[in-house]
Amino acid sequence: MSEATQSQFDPFLFITASIMVPLIIALTANILGPYAAEYWRLRNERQKTKWNQMHERFSAMLTNVPGFFVMGSDAEKQTRFLEAYSHVFLYAPDDTIRRFNAALVSMGYAKPQDTEADKAMKEAILSMRRALYGKTDLTRDDVLFPVRAAQKPTNAS
């Protein structure tokens, strides 16, 4: 080895670095580990709660869907369905909300004209959704307060 190469290699620095790097990693993991574990526990708990809420509300909706179709209509089942729908709005994915809205509109539910109070309430509901769900692409128009459209009288001849 040349003299320049020998002077660049310092065995003391090599040994110190080989001891210090694992020591620093171990200390960092020891200090940050509990915080990371608590973060993941809270994150998983939040996801589990959201899933349980969706499951409960979706089950209620599916249980009451026959109120729209079987032997005419069952107003009580429809009311329970719409109550469950209003809770699902906070937890369900955007696409699910839009599909339920389309189904309700196709069954004769209409979007009422928005008053200023309605607009403010819809913004508040979207704010709650963002707080619980996070990012959402839903707009105020996607917040549906379903109202049964007035049925046109039929001419009996």
- Where are the domains positioned within the chain? 11-92
d(CA 21, CA 14) in angstroms, rounded, equals 11
Q: Which helix (H) or strand (E) holds 56?
A: helix 11-64
Best CA proximity match to 143, nearest among 99, 109, 111: 111
> For 5-58, what is each residue's pLDDT tens digit?
556 777 777 777 788 888 888 888 888 888 888 888 888 898 888 778 777 877
pLDDT at 154 over 50: no
pLDDT by residue (tens digit) across 54-107? 778 777 777 777 666 665 677 788 788 888 888 778 778 899 889 988 888 887
pTM equals 0.55
Q: What is the pLDDT of residue 2?
A: 52
